[in-house]
Structure 1
């Protein structure tokens, strides 16, 4: 396949039509509120080469962008039925839409950014507990040369700073995570409780991260929010519809004698629309979208763009030591870290590839 720039969508085109005018135009508001432009819904969520993966022979492929279109096609039909009044949605339609909601969450820039942040923190921890001399050995072995103390000091400071080295997750890493989690998340959502909110006059917005993972107000601020810990999945469906998906394990206490609470629909109110719009805007990464004739953002808080690359682990600064956490206790002791999704396989500094994949270019001193 020829290597070219591919225009790929991080938010499904069929989905954005529900927030567009009859002419297919949509308003895109850049966080924290300006600029605001009206453009074609087809162009509103384009990112160049976002899903383009690198094959073993070095060539580029947009296979996954095309593979996603099958999921989107089936979900588009399910959404059409919902908009036309079919509820609750069951069987194949429900399965198709659950898969699309899972895909839309997992394909997002937010998930990719979080993956890069997690990788950074893991590398920081592995290097930090191993110590500076262990890092020197990794660099010298990989580059076949001696590393000065000045260069080692610089590398140590950059890798062990809070948050770890600046790493950008690649499309290959993102797709690997997506394909691993997609079937499980889709099945999880399928078996949740779904509530459809219908609004007669109030307008609903969406964003470049339209699936919001919502937790209770008393949720610990230090604890990350993920698929398994979210109390609610919020999905704006169109200008007049919104969907909440609630894990049954977090459902309010079911009355005695009731074994199953069916999906239901709820009449939307001004208070509910404001709550949904605020949650959606707060979870946006760079853009909020809405119908060009509406003004649904009045009175809402709009965050600064890209403010959620937060640490995915507890702060490990107390484990970072130049001499190594377990200095003098034997090679490798204390330098093993097992990632939560590694299947139990330990990682040591000897496993650290050098140069670090995806590490952002940073200017080194020229005095070495």
Structure 2
């Protein structure tokens, strides 16, 4: 048996190799430390056992990591066709859509946000249970001063914080099949930048709104929205664009410098921590720091205490 992989990349190595210089290295900017370093894809964007939780028997569960490796292998075979601007057949398009969907689900940004959402749901359930107990005591005239103090704390979002194990975020992978099917139905085309290098990040798959009327208050903006656009960087000079337009499939469009800078701004804004680029560029470093606070694409619309996502809960 081969030794299991402990160093697991949040951004696949084969993907980052398309952003390297001839010497096989690229730049990684870390907005937490505020530094940029040059390294190989093998030595950046990884964590230990991020996708392999421990089962009840103490053994690592490698299902997600093994599945990601299979999907990456299929996508790597499709990549040369995309860089050659070839239309993909149905199977190849579905294979690459699976890769894009897992790139979305596996990102630290998604793991954090899904874990936070699970924490909010657990908190709401706990509040509901304790509220019921409080009302029962109140009906019996058995509410103590301590009960009232606990009730006040429980409903004050400023009086406590909550830690959530990041492994709860692995539920993000439940989105993959649905996203893959949607992405495979979208219109795919190419945008080519000749005068501005394009960057990628540790959260390179997201969707933005490409025109259309304002969204109604209280309504989310999902991938199924007719104005949703996924701008996925394939290399420092090419973006694979997914949208719902009825024409333009597999066509090539020139990406003007300002539009290319906008694409980089989207990557900087949606990253969790890391921005990757081929050539050293202080402007890109400044852009990364300008958008150093991670965005939240998941908003349940209900205020809650601060929920910190941690790699391991205390005492576990």
**Short-chain TM bin:** 0.7 to 0.9
State the match for 1:192 in structure 2: 186
TM-score normalised by length of structure 1: 0.69
Of Structure 1 and Structure 2, which has the larger fraction of its residues in helix? Answer: 2
Give the CA deviation at 1:87: 2.2
**Paired residues, number:** 300
2:232 matched to 1:238? no
Residue 271 to residue 60, structure 1, CA distance change in 2 (3 Å): same
Q: Any idea what the Cα deviations from partners look like across 1:200-244, whole Å, max 9, x if unmatched?
A: 232000011111221257446865554445711121111111112
State the match for 2:141 in structure 1: none
Give the CA deviation at 1:75: 0.5
Distance (whole Å) between structure 1 residues aligned to residue 128 and residue 193 of structure 2: 54
Residue 154 to residue 36, structure 1, CA distance change in 2 (3 Å): farther
Residue 240 to residue 283, structure 1, CA distance change in 2 (3 Å): same
Does the 8 A contact of 2:24 with 2:40 survive in 1?
yes
TM-score normalised by length of structure 2: 0.80
Does the 8 A contact of 2:201 with 2:275 survive in 1?
yes
Give the CA deviation at 1:23: 1.9
Q: Give the alignment partner of residue 210 of structure 1, picking from 204, 208, 211.
A: 204
Distance (whole Å) between structure 2 residues aligned to residue 358 and residue 37 of structure 1: 25
- Aligned to 1:53, what secondary structure does the other structure show? coil
- Aligned to 2:27, what secondary structure does the other structure show? strand
- Aligned to 2:96, what secondary structure does the other structure show? helix
Does the 8 A contact of 1:119 with 1:167 survive in 2?
no
Distance (whole Å) between structure 2 residues aligned to residue 289 and residue 127 of structure 1: 41
- Aligned to 1:87, what secondary structure does the other structure show? coil
Give the CA deviation at 1:159: 7.2
Structure 1: runs of 5+ lacking an equivalent: 138-147, 255-259, 318-356, 363-368
Does the 8 A contact of 1:106 with 1:182 survive in 2?
yes
2:252 matched to 1:265? yes
Does the 8 A contact of 1:51 with 1:62 survive in 2?
yes
Query: After the TM superposition, which of the residue ranges 31-40 and 299-308 deviates more from structure 2?
Result: 299-308
Query: After the TM superposition, which of the residue ranges 115-124 and 70-79 deviates more from structure 2?
Result: 115-124
State the match for 1:39 in structure 2: 39
Give the CA deviation at 1:191: 0.7
- Aligned to 1:61, what secondary structure does the other structure show? coil
Residue 132 to residue 76, structure 1, CA distance change in 2 (3 Å): same
Residue 5 to residue 78, structure 1, CA distance change in 2 (3 Å): closer
Does the 8 A contact of 1:113 with 1:168 survive in 2?
no
Q: Cα RMSD over matched residues?
A: 3.7
Give the CA deviation at 1:105: 0.3
- Aligned to 2:233, what secondary structure does the other structure show? strand
Does the 8 A contact of 2:269 with 2:291 survive in 1?
no
Give the CA deviation at 1:91: 2.5
Distance (whole Å) between structure 1 residues aligned to residue 230 and residue 287 of structure 2: 20
2:312 matched to 1:313? no
